[in-house]
Amino acid sequence: LIRSVYMVAMIQTWGLATDANAMVSTVIGQGKRRLVGLAVRRVLTVSLSLSAVIALLLALLPRTVLELYTSGAKRLDPQTLELAVPGLMVVAAILMTLAAAGVLLQATTGTGATRFAFMLEVGLIGAYLGWVFLAVYVFKGGLTEVWMAEGVYFLLMAVGCGLYLRSGRWRTLQV
């Protein structure tokens, strides 16, 4: 249930991330590398703004969202509804890091730095799996702690891609 709400809540982020990729590669292709930062900032602003609205709705009205999502024959019993709320709160918090990470990752890829993006993702998948292992087997955490792996993954992705873009190393790439 939480994953389904999460998938719907992230649709606009992936659309805007794709826009960031296209805009960055177009600007570079036009020989206007100096405009890459501006393009990324504009898409990032829209992505963060939309995600903030969705995150606020999830945080302020979690039971309403869950009830709307499961109306009709799939009505949730009150106990299941209450168990889902903490996970939905984590999802609400994750949306902001996802908004930044998705746009920054696709902007990085749009510069032609696909090898960097790939290696970053491979490393982060390792960190993600490590977090889940520790949360479940070492700390005996629940679903909420496991969901936090998404936040760690996207936060590290946003930082990694943001630092890469800011470094300007992509300016020397030949594609």
Give the tens place of pLDDT for each residue, 124-164.
999 999 999 999 999 999 888 898 899 999 999 999 999 99
Name the residue among 83, 125, 119, 103 with its Cα closest to residue 37.
103
Lowest mean pLDDT among 22-36, 72-86, 97-111: 72-86
pTM across the whole model: 0.89
CA angle 123, 127, 133 (to 5 degrees): 145
pLDDT for the residue 132: 95
The tokens describing 108, both together, are 């990085």
Q: How many whole angstroms separate alpha carbon 164 and alpha carbon 116? A: 9
- Is residue 16 within 8 A of residue 102, CB to CB? The reply is yes
Residue 61 has pLDDT above 70, yes or no: yes
- Assign 66 to helix, strand or coil: helix
Higher pLDDT, 4 or 164: 164
Residue 77: strand, helix, or coil? coil
Beta carbons of 85 and 2 less than 8 angstroms apart:
no
pLDDT at site 174 = 75
**Model confidence band, residue 98 (pLDDT cutoffs 50, 70, 90):** very high
Give dist(CA 2, CA 155) in Å, integer.
20
- What value does the mean pLDDT take over residues 110-121? 95
* pLDDT confidence bin for 175, thresholds 50/70/90: low
Residues recorded for the chain: 175
pLDDT, residue 73, reads 56
CA dist 107 and 86 (Å) reads: 32
Distance CA 57, CA 147 (A): 19
What's the average model confidence in pLDDT over 12-41? 95
